[in-house]
Homo-oligomer: A and B are copies of this chain.
Amino acid sequence: MRSINDETITDVALEQMSGTSDPRFKLIMEAAVRHLHAFAREVNLTPEEWLEGIRFFTAVGQECTSYRQEFVLLSDVLGLSALVGLLNDKSGTGFHSDSSLLGPFYRENSPHFELGESIATKTHGREIALYGHVLDSNGRGIPQASIQIWQTDEEGDYDMQKAEAAEMDLRGTFDTDSEGRYYLRSVLPAGYSIPMDGPVGNLIRAQKRHGLRPSHIHYLLGAPGYRELVTALYIDGDPHIGSDTVFGVTDSLVVKPTEQDPASPFPNLPGIRYDFTLSFAGKDQASGRVGADPSQITRVAQRAGRAT
């Protein structure tokens, strides 16, 4: 034994965890404890503040239900979810488009559409065309790549937030043609607020943040031999494009609908043209792990209610 003080306690704690059998889990927990202690030391955390923290985390956990994931929301508004996505991006092999948060509104088995069809089957709004290519890292079109797309309506609501939540709308699955092209129609989505009625909403208010996400369209792209890409396109001109509460927006994903594009399959519609690039699948040599499996992330994200 030794004398424990506010400096030595970190080593004492790490020593007690040193028998952890899983080396990756050991590494993660060691780093977690070091950073947790460094945080407490840096701010000289008082017992009262510690207690407030205990109460906050408890409230976040108690807010979670089968249809709401307040801890994912907390991770989102602290920038952790976006950071984890960005770190994962770097672990791929070859160039690919930037990723963005999957969010809680993804649904598996969305209806399959033919190229050119509209995903707005129940909603009216300002019609837009979405088109471009799905390319490999060398710029070659990927034929029969799968594109899943989902978005809000003009009010900022996803289908699952409406009275008829079971009926899918404004989402669908497409396959690229033999040259890797995709083209479809939809309506312009709108931005929306994260859920503000729980402990994370209280945090956002205390930080004087607006709690809004700018208007965006989600994409999940994949093809055999390529790494899945979870991303979103953000509509330029949204007043919150520069202050997304969950930090999903980056320059390369901001798009401005063009009024006229002779090359568009729908020259009379405002259009958003975007070429997505997928990197090749395969074991990442640097970290020894393969790319993330979005289906796992999906399962928890689907339970996150109005999280992102």
Contact = CB atoms under 8 A, between A and B. Distances in A.
Interface of A: 1-6, 9-10, 12-13, 16-17, 19-22, 25-29, 31-33, 35-51, 54-55, 57-62, 64, 69, 71-72, 75, 78-91, 206-209, 241-243, 245, 247, 249-252, 254, 287, 289, 292-294, 296-297, 300
15 contacts: A1-B242, A4-B249, A6-B87, A10-B83, A16-B209, A16-B243, A28-B43, A40-B80, A44-B87, A44-B91, A45-B87, A47-B294, A48-B296, A51-B296, A60-B61
A86 B9 contact: yes
A31 B19 CA distance: 30
Given A20-B208, A78-B36, A208-B20, A86 B5 contact: yes
- Interface SS of A by simple majority: helix
A249 to B, nearest CB: 7
Number of copies of this chain in the oligomer? 2
A47 B6 contact: no
A58 B62 CA distance: 8
A214 to B, nearest CB: 10
B80 A36 contact: yes
B20 A207 contact: yes
Contact of A31 (B43, B82, B85): B43
Given A55-B300, A208-B19, A32 B37 contact: no
Contact of A54 (B10, B54, B69): B69
Contact of A19 (B46, B61, B207): B207
A86 B45 CA distance: 10
B6 A90 contact: yes
A241 B84 CA distance: 40
Contacts of A249: 1, 4
Contacts of A296: 47-48, 51
A255 to B, nearest CB: 13
A306 B61 CA distance: 20
Given A33-B79, A46-B87, A59-B61, 17 more contacts: A3-B252, A4-B82, A4-B86, A6-B83, A9-B83, A9-B247, A19-B207, A20-B206, A31-B39, A46-B289, A46-B292, A47-B84, A50-B80, A50-B84, A57-B60, A61-B64, A62-B64
A113 to B, nearest CB: 28
Contacts of A57: 57, 60-61, 71
A45 B79 CA distance: 13
A71 B71 CA distance: 14
B293 A48 contact: yes
A72 B54 contact: yes
B17 A207 contact: yes
A9 B58 contact: no
Contact of A69 (B58, B90, B254): B58
A70 to B, nearest CB: 8
